[in-house]
Amino acid sequence: MRRGITATALVAALALAATACGSDDETGGSKSSGELSGTVTWWDTSTVGSEDKVFKKLAEGFEKKHPKVDVKYVNVPFGEAQNKFKNAAQAGAGAPDVIRSEVAWTPEFADLGYLAPLDGTSALKNEKDFLEQAAASTKYKDKTYAVPQVIDSMGIFYNKKIFKEAGVEVPSSIADLKTVSKTIKEKTGKTGLYLRGDDAYWFLSFLYGEGGDLVDASTKSVTVDKPEGVKAFKTVKDLVDSGAAKTDATDGWENMQSSFKDGKVAMMINGPWAVADTLTGKEFADKANLGIAPVPAGSASQGAPQGGHNLAVYAGSKNLDASYAFVEYMTSVETQAQTAGELNLLPTRTSAYAKQEAVDSEIVGFFKPVVETAVERPWIPETGSLFAPLVTEYTKVLTGQTTPEKAASTTGDSYRKLLKGWK
């Protein structure tokens, strides 16, 4: 759950309804000549206004390679895609052929039987080339259900101009962050950090920083309500209460991006997927003004979540062959090099990092080591379900409706309900 709901959600839903009709009965597949044909509907979840343009262009490139295949590009807002896909997949109507599935969703979709296994199909090419971390989330019960498209983590984005004005350095710990924010407030009147409050993904780096985690799959126990978890809740509450950070309970993504892009806040925590959009802001007309640094460390360590996206094929697709080929094309070295160059997104193929576009991108260069040390979530079917209970409590803490202790224990209780038999 990383991106907020936008007003375009409804428009997209309508567009979706329109595109979903009529494409059901167009079966395709490979003719005896081996040429692919038919329609492939792809649900992309990338950021609208920046990333989506590039992905759309890439999808059209596939049509040039296979003139008889018609790729229908649909952008579904990230915040809605998980549920929208599940509704459509279960109803057996209106689901896409290919979905850009967030890493945590992949095992869940696979477990529910919505995804086609890809082992031995043309979708998986040169499997050894994928980063191990990226490939981990695509495996479920010894089968591969998706192909890694991008990998990411989080860092702190900061506005160099404001930092210079206030005469501060990039904070490396939470305590630093508070002093830096205070100085920025005194010197420039601006708020230090925008902390996204309507999405629990933004809470993870604080949790990992205290040495905590949501669950521990190896011992089958819930760990979010351990003292570390309580401490993490205390940390974020303190940041907001002390005025070091501001937050919103709704429209978090839009508010965060616009306040940062307009120079109203000096810092935000974000990932590579936000870079392209951030650079469209007036503060960053000079790209050099955007600084990125590792997330501030908590009392235990520095920890950022490892995320990313995979491409998966819907098991009920009427056009599996073309879908496999499309997934292969979208995850190929060339495609990944292009997205690294144009959008600063991190490739999932080792060989793509050697490509000039990736080498030239400073942001890819910065995030590569961050990803390597990022905290992996357990790739179990329930991973995609862990955010819903957490985000409710997280927002409640930030808006002062509950105490950190209570939030941690409530979240832990709902996890135990979800994960039957876990401690």
Interface with another protein, residue 242, by CB under 8 A: no
Interface with another protein, residue 293, by CB under 8 A: no
Quick one: which of 280, 301, 356, 401 contacts another protein (CB under 8 A)? 401
Interface with another protein, residue 224, by CB under 8 A: no
Least Cβ distance, residue 395 to another protein (angstroms): 5
What residues have CB less than 8 Å from 36, skipping those under 6 apart? 28, 29, 30, 66, 68, 69, 321, 322, 325
Q: Which is nearer to another protein, 63 or 251 (CB)?
A: 251
Interface with another protein, residue 369, by CB under 8 A: no
The string over 337-357, giving b where at least 16 C-beta atoms fall within 10 Å of a residue's C-beta and e elsewhere, is bbbbbbbbbbbbbeebbebeb
Quick one: which of 270, 278, 317, 361 contacts another protein (CB under 8 A)? 317
Interface with another protein, residue 90, by CB under 8 A: yes
CA nearest neighbour of 4 among 173, 146, 197: 197
Q: Which is nearer to another protein, 87 or 373 (CB)?
A: 87
Quick one: which of 96, 272, 384, 412 contacts another protein (CB under 8 A)? 384
> What string of DSSP letters covers 340-361?
HHHH-PBPSBGGGGGSHHHHH-
Per the CB < 8 A criterion, the answer to whether 199 and 1 are in contact is yes
Whole-angstrom Cα distance, residue 237 to residue 70?
50
Whole-angstrom Cα distance, residue 213 to residue 230?
11
Interface with another protein, residue 247, by CB under 8 A: yes
- As to burial, measured by CB atoms within 10 angstroms (0-12 exposed, 13-18 middle, 19+ buried), residue 92 is exposed
Binding span for another protein by CB under 8 A among 17-25, 274-282, 326-334, 381-389: 381-389
Quick one: which of 216, 251, 405, 413 contacts another protein (CB under 8 A)? 251
Interface with another protein, residue 17, by CB under 8 A: no
Q: Which is nearer to another protein, 47 or 317 (CB)?
A: 317
3-state secondary structure of 295: coil
- Number of residues binding to another protein, judged by CB under 8 A: 44
CA nearest neighbour of 76 among 93, 58, 55, 92: 55
Whole-angstrom Cα distance, residue 318 to residue 271?
35
Whole-angstrom Cα distance, residue 200 to residue 203?
5
- Contact pattern from residue 333 through residue 352 relative to another protein, giving x for each residue in contact according to CB under 8 A and a dash for the rest: --------------------
Q: Which is nearer to another protein, 12 or 343 (CB)?
A: 12
Quick one: which of 223, 393, 404, 411 contacts another protein (CB under 8 A)? 393
Helices (H) and strands (E) in the chain, counts: 17, 15
Least Cβ distance, residue 165 to another protein (angstroms): 20
Residue 378 phi, psi (nearest 5): -70, 130
Quick one: which of 85, 114, 206, 253 contacts another protein (CB under 8 A)? 114
Q: Which is nearer to another protein, 126 or 280 (CB)?
A: 280
- Interaction with another protein in 19-78: which residues (CB under 8 A)? none
Per the CB < 8 A criterion, the answer to whether 180 and 192 are in contact is yes
Q: Which is nearer to another protein, 258 or 299 (CB)?
A: 258
Interface with another protein, residue 112, by CB under 8 A: yes
Whole-angstrom Cα distance, residue 418 to residue 382?
7
- Interaction with another protein in 135-174: which residues (CB under 8 A)? none
Whole-angstrom Cα distance, residue 331 to residue 410?
40
Q: Residue written as tokens 């003139």? A: 67
Interface with another protein, residue 402, by CB under 8 A: yes
Q: Which is nearer to another protein, 56 or 139 (CB)?
A: 139
Least Cβ distance, residue 64 to another protein (angstroms): 28
- As to burial, measured by CB atoms within 10 angstroms (0-12 exposed, 13-18 middle, 19+ buried), residue 311 is buried
Whole-angstrom Cα distance, residue 332 to residue 132?
16
Quick one: which of 389, 408, 411, 415 contacts another protein (CB under 8 A)? 389
Interface with another protein, residue 316, by CB under 8 A: yes
CA nearest neighbour of 226 among 403, 419, 411, 414: 411
Q: Which is nearer to another protein, 52 or 254 (CB)?
A: 254
- Provide the binding-site residues for another protein, judged by CB under 8 A: 5, 7, 10, 82-83, 86-87, 89-90, 92, 108, 111-114, 116, 197-198, 247-251, 255, 258-259, 264, 314-317, 384-385, 388-389, 392-393, 395-396, 398-402
